[in-house]
A = this chain, B = another copy of it.
């Protein structure tokens, strides 16, 4: 995949972070949340926000753009001096690019205030929204995360406790949710849905506690990794005390979205006991076993194919090399001065390293193929740089089914794997051979020694573990 700002890629909605500092620590929860959001920026670049609890009141700043644009120095100054914070980065879908959907959502109800941040997707959001609206409640945005916010506030009111309210709300939610809630008086709650679709982990330091979507955010904020929040677990941090409880009793679980290992997560994160880097390396090794080929060099599509390419090289004995140099200065603010220049955009972003591919048979390792248009351009560029053969190996099976749990793959019609078989795709992108990792191979690459890990592979198999209405 070219990069995360291209349209030809799956996208995930969000990352969350929650911070609870002890009484004696510096009151810099917002600054730490900011650093954590920077480390989680890869999970969403459309908007960012932080809410803090200070003196019983919640103050929230949220805006479109990258963390560094959305949270200006002025905004951070207004958030300063708090010991409790939640933060969010957002990846919006096309239909929802309205500022109203940026998180955190703040709800003030009769007896309290709560700020909510959410990563995932609620399958029954429309039904819950309708139910809440039937009781007269109103909404300001279209996001399912606002449904969680209002639902939690509503239950908190009637149950007389945010903890009870949050648990009741969680039990009504059907789908994927890794959540943080912060009350006006500084209680931080974190929950993960019983399937554990999306990651969520816990860190600590002498100063306090941190809950974050990925462990890479803990290091960035000065917290040490403690453990993953378990599927179905509720964590409550209050007055420096941490309590944990299981809030779901069913035991059949779909499991973590396996695409977190393939693409979403940062390679330096550990999720549910497995290093993302190690999983990707294993995918590459598995690909080499499943689709060996006689070639001269193994190259990744930067940056996301790197680890799998290293694995493929290690297993096959074919040397690893870079096939492309990526221009790191081209981001979302990039303007194309003329329409004619748009054609050149791939060459601006990715330029082949002729020295490594000329007169060579190249194994090109990518993490996924969505529409195939970018793959075709990249392969053509490789051939122009002198590659004699291009064998594409993909570290995820073909996307054929929609995701209901927070991954935004394009609608089924644009998925190339829905209109063409592997041979057809191979021809369409101009490769000499094409091999997708098998579902079994992928799950095996993500297996954790001594633990029976379950994963959601619904986008590859159409079987989702839980019922979809």
Instruction: Give chain A's interface residues, CB within 8 Å of chain B.
Output: 26, 28, 30-32, 34-35, 38-39, 41-42, 45, 59-61, 66-69, 72-73, 76, 80, 98-100, 105-111, 130, 133-140, 142, 149-150, 153-154, 157-158, 216, 219-222, 266-268, 270, 275, 277-278, 303, 306-307, 310, 314, 319-322, 324-325, 327-331, 333-335, 337-338, 340-341, 344, 347-348, 351-356
Question: What's the Cα separation between A61 and B64 when bound, in Å?
Answer: 12
Q: How far is the CB of A329 from chain B (nearest CB, A)?
A: 4
Interface centre among A76, A153, A219, A277 (most CB of B within 10 A): A219
- Contact status A109-B133, CB under 8 Å: yes
Shortest Cβ distance from residue A276 to the other chain B in the assembled complex, whole angstroms: 8
CA A69 – CA B270 in complex, angstroms?
A: 37
**Given A39-B327, A42-B328, A310-B321, 11 additional A-B pairs, CB 8 A:** A60-B98, A67-B329, A72-B335, A80-B337, A108-B138, A109-B138, A110-B133, A133-B157, A220-B344, A221-B344, A266-B351
A348-B267 contact given A105-B140, A328-B328, A355-B277, CB 8 Å threshold: no
B335 near A76: Cβ-Cβ < 8 Å: yes
Q: A100-B106, A322-B307, A344-B220 are in contact. Are A136 and B138 (CB under 8 A)?
A: no
A277 touches B138 (CB 8 A): no
Interface pair B139/A136, CB less than 8 Å apart = no
Let me know if A341 and B137 touch, CB within 8 A. no
25 A-B residue pairs with Cβ-Cβ distance under 8 Å, sorted by A, are A26-B338, A28-B341, A35-B344, A35-B348, A42-B328, A66-B329, A68-B333, A73-B337, A106-B140, A109-B136, A110-B136, A135-B135, A136-B137, A138-B150, A220-B344, A266-B325, A266-B351, A268-B353, A270-B355, A277-B356, A278-B355, A303-B328, A306-B322, A310-B321, A320-B320
Which residue on B lies nearest to A106, using beta carbons? B140
The 8 closest A-B pairs by CB, nearest first: A31-B337, A110-B133, A275-B355, A107-B138, A268-B325, A41-B329, A31-B338, A108-B139
Chain B residue numbers with a CB within 8 Å of A61 are: 99
Name the CB-closest residue of B to A108: B139
A89 to B116, CA, bound (A): 29
Residues on B with C-beta less than 8 A from A154 are 136, 138
| A100-B60 contact in complex given A68-B334, A344-B35, C-beta closer than 8 Å | yes
The answer for the CA separation of A68 and B332 in the assembled complex, in Å, is 10
Measured CB to CB, the nearest residue on chain B to A325 is: B268
B268 x A354 contact (CB < 8 A): yes
In the complex, which residues of chain B have a beta carbon less than 8 angstroms from the beta carbon of A150? 138
Separation in Å of the A68 CB from the closest CB of chain B? 5
Residues of chain B within 8 A of A307, CB atoms compared: 322
CB distance A134 to B110 under 8 Å? yes
Complex Cα distance A327/B42, Å? 9
Q: Can you name the residue of chain B whose Cβ is closest to the Cβ of A337?
A: B31
CB distance from A381 to the nearest CB of B (A): 9
A283 to chain B minimum Cβ distance, whole angstroms, is 14
Alpha-carbon distance A38/B349, docked complex (angstroms): 9
CB of A319 within 8 A of CB of B314, answer: yes
The residue of chain B having its C-beta at the shortest distance from the C-beta of A216 within the complex is B351
- Residue in B59, B222, B303, B331 whose beta carbon sits within 8 Å of that of A98 in the complex: B59
Within the complex, the shortest CB–CB distance from A23 to chain B, in Å, comes to: 17
When distances are taken between beta carbons in the complex, the residues of chain B under 8 Å from A59 are 98
A99 / chain B contacts, CB cutoff of 8 Å:
61
**B337 and A28: CB pair below 8 A?**
yes
In the complex, are the beta carbons of B275 and A348 less than 8 A apart? no
Contacts of A347 in B (CB 8 A): 219-220, 222
Residues in B with CB closer than 8 Å to A130 are 110
Partner of A138, one of B98, B133, B153: B153
Residues in B with CB closer than 8 Å to A277 are 322, 353, 355-356
A335's partner among B68, B80, B142, B310 (CB-CB below 8 A) is B68
Query: A73: which B residues are within 8 A, CB to CB?
Result: 335, 337
B107–A275 CB distance below 8 A: no
CB contacts (< 8 Å) of A344 on chain B: these are 35, 220-222
**In the complex, which residues of chain B have a beta carbon less than 8 angstroms from the beta carbon of A266?**
325, 351
Cα of A32 to Cα of B341 in the assembled complex, Å = 8
Quick one: closest B residue to A136, CB to CB?
B154
Give CA–CA (A2, B119) in the complex, Å.
32
